[in-house]
Amino acid sequence: MEKVQLDKNFFIPMPVTLIGSMYKGKPNFMAAGWVSRVNANPPQIGIGIHQSHATIEGIEENKTFSICFPNKELLVKADYVGIASAKKTDKSHVFDVFYGNIKTAPMIQEAPLCIECNLVHTYKGPTNTFFIGEIQGVHAEKSLLQDGKISPKAMDYLFLTMPDNNYWSLGESVGKAWSIGKQYKA
């Protein structure tokens, strides 16, 4: 395949998530897609956030955060909290809030799936901070479960691609991991 070189500011496809923190004593949420598991045991997860965001202050102060997963029904609100800044707009009433084990990691009642984390490591990059948290609780709507596991289709995960700036639904199952590769012949 003939290849062309593109701009180095390349974006991978991302899960759409909502990061919860306390900002000036109020629950605050922002949309974020720079998210990845980081460590297997104990379970750690990282989020990358531009240093201009209010969420940075909230997480640094309380050393806790949450990650909720919106479905299509929540998409307008999810995008809204990615546009409006808590520095100018009080976003504490956009969602119904609940708390799990951590009292400074607000989560979203309407979101079908939320996790709460304690901050364990911070990487301060030149423009963004990557917060690594240890997962302390996972809260899922019961209807998402199939044989005790989350059904990705029932969850209705959303994805974001950039710079075309589109949200996407999950497509079709195309193979089993750690399995389909056994068909490979050198």
Q: Is 43 in the site for its own copies (CB under 8 A)?
A: yes
| Distances 171 to 91, 103, 147, 156, 157 between C-alpha atoms, Å | 32, 36, 21, 10, 10
3-state secondary structure (DSSP) of residue 50: strand
Q: Is 74 in the site for its own copies (CB under 8 A)?
A: no
Dihedral of alpha carbons 120, 57, 115, 107, sign: positive
Nearer to its own copies, 24 or 37 (CB): 37
Compute the distance between CA of residue 51 and CA of residue 56 in angstroms, rounded to an integer.
Answer: 6
Compute the distance between CA of residue 103 and CA of residue 114 in angstroms, rounded to an integer.
Answer: 14
Q: Is 97 in the site for its own copies (CB under 8 A)?
A: no
Residues numbered 2 to 41 that lie near its own copies (CB under 8 A) are 2-15, 17, 34-41
Residues numbered 127 to 166 that lie near its own copies (CB under 8 A) are 127-128, 130, 132, 135-142, 145-146, 149-152, 157-166
- Tell me how far, at minimum, the Cβ of 65 lies from its own copies, in Å: 14
Task: Write phi, then psi, for 22 (nearest 5 degrees).
Answer: -95, 125
- Contact stretch for its own copies (CB under 8 A) within 22-30, 42-50, 56-64: 42-50
Q: Is 173 in the site for its own copies (CB under 8 A)?
A: yes
Structural contact between residues 20 and 28, judged by C-beta atoms closer than 8 angstroms = yes
Q: How many residues bind its own copies (CB under 8 A)?
A: 105
Residues numbered 101 to 120 that lie near its own copies (CB under 8 A) are 109-110, 112, 114-115
Q: Is 88 in the site for its own copies (CB under 8 A)?
A: no
